[in-house]
Amino acid sequence: MYQDTITAIATPMGESALGIVRLSGPEALPIAHRVFSRPLRNRRLVLGHLLDPRSGEVVDEAMAAYLAAPRTYTREDMVEFSCHGGALPLQRVLEVLLAQGARLASPGEFTLRAFLNGRIDLAQAESVLDIIQAKTQAGLRIALQGLEGRLSKQVRALRSALLEPLAYLTALVDFPEDEIEHQDVSASLEAALQQLQDLTSNAHRGMAYRHGVRTAIVGRPNAGKSSLLNRLLGHNRAIVAPIPGTTRDTLEELANIRGIPFCLIDTAGITATTDPVEQLGVERSHQALASADLVLLVVDSSQPLDRRDYAIATPLGGRQVLVVANKRDLPSALRGDELAPARLDEYRSRETMTAQPLNEVAEKQQAAGWPWVRTSALTEEGLEELEETMADLVLGGQVAANEALLVSNPRHKTALDQAAQHTSAALDSFRSGMQPDFVTIDLTAAVNALGQITGETVEEDLLNIIFSRFCIGK
All structural domains of the chain with their residue ranges: 6-105, 124-202+407-467, 211-395
- As its CATH architecture, domain 211-395 has 3-Layer(aba) Sandwich (3.40)
Q: For the chain, what is the radius of gyration of the CA atoms?
A: 29
Closest CA to 7 of 75, 128, 106: 106
**Can you give the pLDDT at residue 364?**
38
Average pLDDT for residues 416-442, to the nearest whole number? 91
Highest mean pLDDT among 26-40, 177-191, 264-278, 320-334: 26-40
Sequence-ordered list of residues with C-beta below 8 angstroms from that of 48, at least 6 positions apart, any chain: 36, 37, 38, 61, 62, 64
User: What pLDDT shows up at residue 452?
Assistant: 93
Whether domain 6-105 has CATH 3.90.1150.10: no
For the segment 427-431, the average pLDDT, to the nearest whole number, is 90
Given a cut of 60, whether residue 455 has pLDDT beyond it is yes
Most confident by average pLDDT, 313-317, 405-409, 432-436, 448-452:
448-452
The distance of Cα 181 from the centroid of its chain, to the nearest Å, equals 47
Q: Which pLDDT score, from 0 to 100, does residue 340 have?
A: 52
Average pLDDT over residues 166-179: 77
Q: What is the pTM of this model?
A: 0.78
What one-character DSSP code corresponds to residue 73? S
CB contact at 8 A, 15 and 85: yes
* Selection from 90, 195, 65 nearest residue 473 by Cα: 90
DSSP category for residue 358:
P
Reported as a pLDDT band with limits 50, 70 and 90, residue 29 is very high
pLDDT tier, 441 (very low <50, low <70, confident <90, very high otherwise): very high
How many CB atoms sit inside 10 A of residue 57's CB? 12
Confidence band for 397, pLDDT divided at 50, 70 and 90: low
pLDDT over 50 at 248, yes or no? no
Q: Is-same-fold flag (124-202+407-467; 211-395)?
A: no
* pLDDT of res. 335: 60
pLDDT value at residue 227: 86
What's residue 194's pLDDT?
A: 94
**Do 98 and 10 contact (CB within 8 A), yes or no?**
no
Q: Measure the CA–CA gap between 226 and 247, rounded to whole angstroms.
A: 8
Q: Are 268 and 281 in contact (CB under 8 A)?
A: yes
Strand partners, 78: 24, 67
Tens digits of residue pLDDT in 190-245: 999 999 999 998 888 888 888 888 888 888 888 888 888 888 888 665 444 454 44
> What SS3 state is found at 230?
helix
Give the pLDDT of residue 354: 39
Cα–Cα distances in Å, from 44 out to 63, 64, 66, 473? 10, 8, 7, 22
| pLDDT one-digit tens code per residue, 258-307 | 888 999 888 765 555 555 555 566 666 667 677 788 899 888 888 887 77
What whole-number distance in Å separates Cα of residue 247 and Cα of residue 268?
Answer: 5
Predicted confidence band of residue 365 (pLDDT cuts 50, 70, 90): very low
- Residue whose C-alpha is closest to residue 420's, from 126, 203, 189, 168: 189
| Beta bridge partner(s), residue 324 | 298, 373
| In the chain, % of residues over pLDDT 90 | 41
In this structure, what are the phi and psi dihedrals at residue 230, rounded to the nearest 5 degrees? -60, -40
Amino acid at 180: I
In this prediction, residue 201 carries a pLDDT of 87
Q: Positive or negative, the Cα torsion across 326, 328, 332, 338?
A: positive
Strand ranges across the sheet with 372-374 = 251-257, 260-266, 213-218, 294-300, 321-326, 372-374
Helix (H) or strand (E) holding 82: strand 78-84
CATH H-level, domain 124-202+407-467: superfamily = tRNA modification GTPase MnmE domain 2 (1.20.120.430)
Instruction: Name the helix (H) or strand (E) containing 391.
Output: helix 383-395
